[in-house]
Amino acid sequence: MRPTAASRLVAPVLAACTLAACASSKSEPDPSAGAPTPVPVRVQTMGEARGTTLAVASSTPEAIGATVEAPPGGAWVGLIQAWEILKLNPDQINSDAYLLSVQNARVRRQLGGKPMSRYLDCGMGQQGATADAYDIALSVRSQLRAAEGGKTEVLSLVTATARAGVTSNSSVQCSSTGELEKRIVDLTRERAGAKP
According to the model, what pLDDT value does residue 67 have?
95
Q: Which of 167, 162, 171, 196 is nearest to 182 (CA)?
A: 196
Instruction: Compute CA distances 76 → 5, 116, 155, whole Å.
Output: 14, 25, 12
14-37 tens-digit pLDDT? 343 433 333 333 333 343 334 343
Q: Can you give the pTM of this predicted structure?
A: 0.70
54-103 tens-digit pLDDT? 333 335 678 999 999 999 999 999 999 999 999 999 999 999 999 999 99
Backbone angles phi, psi at 168, to 5 degrees: -75, 140
Start-to-end Cα distance in the chain:
31
Instruction: Compute CA distances 147 → 26, 137, 152, whole Å.
Output: 10, 32, 5
103-148 tens-digit pLDDT? 999 999 999 899 999 999 999 987 789 999 999 999 999 999 999 9
- Give the start-to-end residue ranges of the domains of the chain: 7-191
CB 97 within 8 A of CB 26: yes
**What is the spatial distance between Cα 71 and Cα 94, in angstroms, rounded to a whole number?**
17
Which of these ranges, 11-20, 152-161, 163-172, has the smallest mean pLDDT? 11-20
43-66 tens-digit pLDDT? 232 233 333 333 333 356 789 999
The secondary element (H helix, E strand) that includes residue 162 is strand 152-163
CB 148 within 8 A of CB 154: no
